[in-house]
Amino acid sequence: MNLPTSQLLTERLLLRPWRESDAEAMYKYASDPAIGPIAGWEPHTSVEHSREIIRTVFAAPETYAMVLRETGEPVGSAGIMTADGLHSAQMAAGDAEIGYWIGRPYWGRGLTPEAVACLLRRCFEVLGYRRVWCGHYDGNAQSRRVMEKCGFRFHHTETGKPSPLGDLRTEHFMSLTKEEWKAWLQIRRVTTDKKRYLPLLLIGDEQESMIDRYLDRGEMFVMVDSEEAAVAVAVATDEGDGVVELKNLAVAPSLQRKGHGRSMVRFLCNHYKNRYRIMLVGTGDSRATVSFYENCGFGYSHTIKDFFLKNYDHPIIEEGKILKDMICFKRELGDVEAKAQ
C-alpha cells in the first residue's frame, strides 16, 4: 500500500526524509529530557546517537523531518506507521498510525497539528487508509491536544502497557476514520498571503482599506474543510492591557447558520484565554449580529458614535437600515470553559 516517500509542503513546513546531515539538529532537540521520556524513548546522548537513529528508526518509509521553510532547520519529526512496522496501536487491515514530536522552542505554535493534518491527507487520499490511530501516554496532555486539533476522537485506554523504556504505562488511543476526516473542519493560523482570503474577509468588513488597517498586525485564522476549502475566517488584534479584539469574523455565505461562526468564536476564546483577560468585538446595530454575540457569551461594553459614517466611503446597510454607530461587546476570558458548554 505504501508509495515512495516524497516531500510534502504545508504553509510553514517542509516534510522530507531525514538525512544523516540532520544529526546535529536532531540532537539539539531530541537530547531535551522534556521530549523523549514522556513519549517513551530516551533522550539522545550525542550527535552520533542521533545519526544512528536517522540511519535506523527514522529510515523507515513515511518518516519525515519537520523542516521550517523559513530557516531550513529540522525541528521535529512526524511519520506514518503501519502494522508491519514500529507502531503502538492494534491495527486492522487498512489502518495506519501517526506519531510525532517537536522541539520545545516550537511548542504551542501550531506546527505539529499542521504536519499531522498534512499526513492525514496523505493517509486517506494517497495511501488509501480507512482509519488512522494516534496514542499518547497518561499525562501527555500536549500530545492529546494535537490529536484533538486534528479531529481525532477518543477510542480506548490500555493499562499496564510496556513502553520502549521498559516501564509499564497507561496509554490512551484516539482514532479518525476517512469518513470522519471528510466531515471534520480544521482551524489553522494564517501567517502568509493573508489577502488570498479577501473574498471572505470582505463579508465581515466590506471595505478593503478598513481591513488593511488591522490585517498585517492581526492574528488570522481560517477554518477549512477536508478539501481545503475555506469555511470561515477571523482576525484578532492585541489592543494592550490584556485586551484582544476580534476585528473580523466571516463565514462563507452557503455555510452560514450551521454553527461555524460560533465554533470559531469558541476556538478563539480558548486560544486566547491564557494571554488576555477580555475579548472585545465591535459590530453594527443589527439584531442578528447582536444576538449572535450575546449567544456567544458577550455583553454590552460601549458605543462608538458615527463610526460607520466616519470611516467608510459608502453606506453600510444591514437589515435594511444604514449603520451609524459601532456597538462594542466584551467577554471575560477567564470563564471560557463554563460558557463553552
Q: What is the mean pLDDT of residues 127-147?
A: 94
pLDDT above 70 for 340 = no
DSSP 237-251: EE-STTEEEEEEEEE
| Rg (the chain; Cα; Å) | 23
Phi, then psi, of 100 in degrees rounded to 5: -165, 160
- The string of pLDDT tens digits covering residues 312-324 is 999 999 989 999 9
Cα distances (Å, whole numbers) of residue 277 to 17, 42, 264, 296, 335:
43, 39, 18, 16, 10
What pLDDT sits at residue 339?
Answer: 43
Q: What is the mean pLDDT of residues 230-236?
A: 97
Q: What is the mean pLDDT of residues 128-139?
A: 95
DSSP state of 223: E
Assign 13 to helix, strand or coil.
strand
Q: Cell numbers 504551542 label which residue? A: 108
Q: Which three cell numbers stand for residue 115?
A: 504536519
CA 147 to mean position of chain CA atoms: 10
Nearest to 303 by CA among 280, 284, 328: 328
Q: What is the mean pLDDT of residues 316-333?
A: 94
Q: Where does the pLDDT of residue 1 fall: very low under 50, low under 70, confident under 90, or very high at 90 and above?
A: very low
Q: What is the mean pLDDT of residues 156-164?
A: 92
What pLDDT sits at residue 85?
Answer: 56
Alpha-carbon distance of 73 to 273, in angstroms, equals: 31
Q: What is the mean pLDDT of residues 188-217?
A: 95
pLDDT above 70 for 180 = yes
- CB atoms near residue 334 (< 10 Å): 12
- Higher-confidence residue of 186 and 131: namely 131
Alpha-carbon distance of 75 to 29, in angstroms, equals: 7
What pLDDT sits at residue 335?
Answer: 59
Instruction: Quote the crossing angle between the two packed helices 287-295 and 260-272, to the nearest 10°.
Output: 50
What pLDDT sits at residue 341?
Answer: 34
Q: Where does the pLDDT of residue 3 fall: very low under 50, low under 70, confident under 90, or very high at 90 and above?
A: very low
Alpha-carbon distance of 222 to 212, in angstroms, equals: 17
Maximum distance among all alpha carbons in the chain? Answer: 71
Phi, then psi, of 11 in degrees rounded to 5: -60, -40
pLDDT above 80 for 179 = yes
H/E stretch holding 182: helix 178-183
What pLDDT sits at residue 227?
Answer: 78
pTM, 2 dp: 0.68
- CB atoms near residue 106 (< 10 Å): 15
Average pLDDT score, the chain: 92
